[in-house]
Each structure stands twice: as structure tokens, then as C-alpha cells.
Amino acid sequence: MIRGTEKLGLKLLFVSLATICHLFSYPALVWFISKIFYYHTFDYWQTFSFGLSAYFIKSVIIYGFSFLAFILINKKIQLSQIEKEVEVITDKQEFISSILIVDNNKQKILLKVNDILYFSANSPYIGIYILQKRYLHTETLKSFEKQLDNKQFVRIHKSHIVNIHKISSIKSRQNGDYDITLSDNTILRLSRNYAINFKSKLSDFHQLNTK
């Protein structure tokens, strides 16, 4: 694997070779054209000396700018590749599949995330709802939002995160808000502030399940 300094050295070598090739090819081209089309043939080394004095600095400037442009474009491509790799890593993030809680009888219960209907803020706790049962847990909605699969659990209000898989129907309130009915007939309000993101996730879910 070539290191960064070695790559830079190769690029500088490329610029140097390109400049030298330009200086040597220019008099050769002049000599060739004059040989074919003119009675007088321009001497190669005389033209080379002229080109060295007249175009050397210009050649260095042109190829130098080209080299800098190449470096900038190359860095942009590398940054783009890094961003894509980060997105792949994010997509492969593992989300929690169960939650360990303690009920009112001090008994530990392991709740399956897929069975949860929704989460509700109930300071200083959060309520976790499964069918007709509610469990309290000592975490915040913001904390859970990072642990849950955001393709399945979506924030619909500052106080609620809902399981898209448990939604039965959606009805507009004609003011930008919506009423969401869950599979147990619970009705939650979808705030207009979260409506766009919610609709996008719901659309992705339905497309995935209709393929």
C-alpha cells in the first residue's frame, strides 16, 4: 500500500516529467512542421533553447495549477468515499431487540421491542405500552430514539414515539396534525412538526412490504 507521502512524490514526478516532455516535444513538433511545409528547417536545439527561455516558466505554472487542481479533485473524491463508508457503517448499526425492565412487583421482565406499540414521556420516566399494559422505565425518549430502529420507530410528537408496524389508520385533523390509531385502538396525535418525516418513513415501510 502506497503511503500519502509516496503518492505526493509520484504526483510531483508526474508534473516534472510532463513539463520536460512538453519542452522536448515542442521543438520536435516545430522541426517536423518546418521540414514538411517550409524551405527552411528550424534547428531543433535552437528551438529548444528558445522554448526553454520563453515557455519554461509558463509550462511550470500551467502544470503546477493542473497538479493543484488534481490534488483538490482527488481529495474531494476521497472525502466522498469516506462519507459513503460512514453511511454504510450507519446503515449496518445494530439496534436493540429487547428491553429489560422492572415491574411494580420488582420482577424483571424482558420486553420484545417488536411487541411495543409506542413510547410516551411520563417524567421522570417513560411509559412503554404493550397491548393493554404499561411499563415505566428510567430512560428518556431521546435516549431510546438512538437505540431503536428509526425505520420502525418514529417520533410523532415531542412526547411520543410510535411503532409503525402497529398503526391501523391515520386521519387528518385539517390543521396539519393527524390522529394515528394503533392496533389496540389507542389514538395518538401526530404533530405537524413531525409529519413530513413520519410520512416518509411510513411510505418506505409500505414500499418495502409491497415488493
Domain boundary, last residue among 69, 91, 113: 91
State which residues form the domain around 116: 98-210
Segment 150-186, tens digit of pLDDT: 889 999 999 999 999 999 999 999 999 999 999 999 9
Considering the domain architecture, whether residues 204 and 122 belong to the same structural domain is answered as yes
CA-nearest of 67, 61, 128 to 100 is: 128
3-state SS assignment for residue 73: helix
Question: H-helix or E-strand containing 187?
Answer: strand 187-190
Considering the domain architecture, whether residues 133 and 81 belong to the same structural domain is answered as no
Considering the domain architecture, whether residues 118 and 22 belong to the same structural domain is answered as no
Domain boundary, last residue among 61, 91, 121: 91
Considering the domain architecture, whether residues 116 and 74 belong to the same structural domain is answered as no
Number of domains present in the structure of the chain: 2
CA-nearest of 61, 82, 70, 159 to 119 is: 159
- Scan for cell 415488493, then name that residue: 211
For the whole model, what pTM was predicted? 0.54
Considering the domain architecture, whether residues 63 and 138 belong to the same structural domain is answered as no
**Rounded-to-integer distance, Cα 93 and Cα 87, Å:** 10
Considering the domain architecture, whether residues 205 and 104 belong to the same structural domain is answered as yes
Domain boundary, last residue among 70, 91, 112: 91
Segment 55-110, tens digit of pLDDT: 555 555 655 666 666 667 767 777 777 666 655 545 555 888 899 988 878 888 89
Classify the C-alpha dihedral 145-146-147-148 as positive or negative. positive
Which is more confident, 19 or 121?
A: 121
Considering the domain architecture, whether residues 15 and 114 belong to the same structural domain is answered as no
CA-nearest of 161, 141, 142 to 152 is: 161
Considering the domain architecture, whether residues 204 and 110 belong to the same structural domain is answered as yes
State the CATH number of the domain containing residue 103: 2.40.50.1020
Sheet containing strand 118-122, edge to edge, reads: 133-137, 125-130, 118-122, 160-163, 153-157
